[in-house]
Amino acid sequence: MLPDLAPAELISLFRRMLLVRRWEERLIQLAAEGPSFGHYHVYIGQETIGVPALWALRSTDVVFPTHRNHGYLLGRGADPGRLLAEVLGKATGLNGGKGGTLHASAPELGIPHTSAIVGGVIPIAAGAALAARIKGRDQVSVAVFGDGAMEEGAAFETFNTAALWRVPVIFLCENNTRDALGAAAGGYPASIIAAADLCDIARSVGLPTAAVDGTDAGAVFAAMRQGAVRARGGDGPTFVEAVVSRWPGSSPLWPELPAGRTELRYAWAPQEAPERLALWYAERDGLLRYVRELLDASLATREELARIDSEVRAAVEQAVRFATDSAYPPADAAYDNVFASS
């Protein structure tokens, strides 16, 4: 279902999700062309989690994502060129090239920190929520993490402490393990957890939980909004699990474009999708599901969506030019920013 938002907002949300998709498809091409910028993770197939989740928050709320952070940074309005420059290690990057794809952040946009350590941001986000409560701010903090983080002790320690202190935090678990190959089968690692239901782990310390289909933007939006209302009302943390299937290009250890760029027409002409990804585009891609929902609700025409697509792709090309034309930082910059500037 579509999120409970005004039509114009629903179109803005689409534009932002599409930006994430187009930016990352281009990133995969850049990686293939070289030079290498190291290991990276893409958010393709999860846009309908992060972007609607951000739409359910206020701009004053804070969000702490992981190494799979591009969707959150772009979703919050980070400049696509400066994010790409960061991923390429350029001086004009969001963090001057010090963070790269794994640690890109934008404190000015309410993303103070991202961590590439599994479970790393869970207690940090809860601590930010504690600060919000102590300072008497009407502010919510969100920890974003994958299902693998539920294997870490930091998750349980934080759920317990956050439940005891009733801090205004939402734990957003992006479970992208449905259909994942797993390390044992030579694919990207998938979580290995004895609990049949991840929500049970959060329930064990009394947290309210919601499990939603991560391809359903409206369901994600509603669960996050409910969590935010609870947090602002002083009722403490909420655990939200959003489940998606792994995008086939994310199954190998290095992201690929197994069948080229996503075409919006696959949403209404599934027979035109490449056979390898036909099932994924038809049933598992939240972005194309959202396209179908917009069209079904007569909120946009195919032509209008195509126009947005060409605008987004032009913006991405501009970002690529900005980032590739940007210079690397001067060597001396390696020694800066070890401590806070006084």
Partner 1 sequence: MDTTETAAEAPGPAGVTARELTYAEALVEALEDLMKEDPDFLIIGSYVLGLGPLRVLFDRVRAAYPARVLDPPTAELAFCGFGIGAAMNGLHVMVDVGTASFVFQAFPQVVNEAANAIYMSGGRLALPVVFHLLHGLRAGGAAQHSHSPQAMLWNTPGLQIILPASPADVKGLLPSAVRSGSPTVFVDHSKLLPLRGAVPEHARPIPLGVADVKRRGRDVTVVATSFSVHQALVAAERLESEGIDVEVIDPRTIVPLDRRAILESVATTGRLVIVDETHRSCGVASEIAAIVGEEALDALRAPICRVTVPDVPVPFSPALESQLEPTPEKIAAAIRAQMTSRHSRRP
Binding site for partner 1 (CB under 8 A): 62, 64, 93-99, 103, 105-108, 112-113, 115, 117, 119-120, 122-132, 134-135, 139, 141, 153-154, 157-158, 160-161, 164-165, 336-342
Q: Residue 195 CB, nearest distance to partner 1 (Å)?
A: 19
Q: Which residues, 6 or more positions from 186, have their beta carbon under 8 angstroms from its beta carbon?
A: none
Q: Residue 122 CB, nearest distance to partner 1 (Å)?
A: 7
**Residue 35, Cβ neighbours under 10 Å: how many?**
8
Q: Residue 140 CB, nearest distance to partner 1 (Å)?
A: 11
Contacts 24+ apart (CB under 8 A), 187-193: 187/251, 187/252, 187/253, 188/246, 188/250, 188/251, 188/252, 188/253, 189/148, 190/147, 190/148, 190/246, 191/146, 191/147, 191/148, 191/150, 191/151, 192/151, 193/147, 193/150, 193/151
- What tokens were used for 113? 């920190």
Strands, E assignment, 197-335: 209-213, 238-245
Nearer to partner 1, 64 or 221 (CB): 64
Q: Residue 340 CB, nearest distance to partner 1 (Å)?
A: 4
Nearer to partner 1, 117 or 229 (CB): 117
CA distances from 6 to 2, 55, 184, 213 (A): 10, 12, 46, 22
Nearer to partner 1, 134 or 184 (CB): 134
* Total length of the chain: 342
Q: Residue 235 CB, nearest distance to partner 1 (Å)?
A: 18
65 half-sphere exposure, CB direction, 13 A CA radius: 29
Nearer to partner 1, 151 or 157 (CB): 157
Nearer to partner 1, 204 or 301 (CB): 204
Q: Residue 113 CB, nearest distance to partner 1 (Å)?
A: 5
Nearer to partner 1, 129 or 217 (CB): 129
CA distances from 16 to 74, 118, 277, 313 (A): 7, 26, 23, 12
Nearer to partner 1, 107 or 252 (CB): 107
Q: Residue 97 CB, nearest distance to partner 1 (Å)?
A: 7
- Alpha carbons 208 and 210: distance in angstroms, whole number: 7
Query: What's the CA dihedral at 192, 198, 202, 203 to 10 degrees?
Result: -130
Nearer to partner 1, 42 or 62 (CB): 62
Nearer to partner 1, 45 or 168 (CB): 168
Sheet of 62-64, strand order: 62-64, 141-146, 169-178, 238-245, 209-213
- What tokens were used for 302? 């195919």
Q: Residue 125 CB, nearest distance to partner 1 (Å)?
A: 6
C-alpha 276: how far from chain center:
25
Q: Residue 62 CB, nearest distance to partner 1 (Å)?
A: 6
